[in-house]
Structure 1
Amino acid sequence: MTTLVQQMERRAQQIDRMQSEFIKLTQFATELQMYIGLKEIEKTTSQAAKYITDLESANHFNERNLDVNISSALTLILQDVKSFGEINIKITPSTLRLKAERKEQAQYLVPIFPGIDKIKPSLMKRLTITDNIKSLNIWACFVLSDGNFIMFDYNKNRLLLFSIEGLFMREVVSFSEIPLDACLVRNDTVAVALGSSNQTALVNIEQNKITKMIKLLQDCDAVASDGQTLVISGMVKSTKVNLNDMSHTILEGVRASRIAIFKENIYGTIYYENKVFCYTSTGEPLWTFQHHGINLPQGLTLDANGFVYIASRGNNNIVVVSPDGKTSKTILSEADGIKNPYAIDINRESGMMIVSIEIRKNSDSAVVYKI
Structure 2
Amino acid sequence: MASSGGDNCTLCYDDDGTSTEAVTWCTECEVLLCTGCEKHHTKSKASKDHKTMSTKDYHNLPKFMLEISSQCRDHKKKFELYCSFHACPCCVQCITDKHKKCQDLKPLSDILKQVKSSASVQLFEKDLKNVKENLEEIIKYLNSRMNTNNSQKTKAAEQIRSMRKSIDDFLNKLEQKILDDLESKHSQLKSKMNTLLQQLKTQANQISQLQSEFSKMTQYATELQMYVGLREIEKTTSEAAKYIDELKSGDNFGGKRT
Give the TM-score normalised by the residue count of structure 2. 0.24
Where relative contact order (Cα < 8 A, 6+ residues apart) is larger, the structure is: 1
Give the TM-score normalised by the residue count of structure 1. 0.17
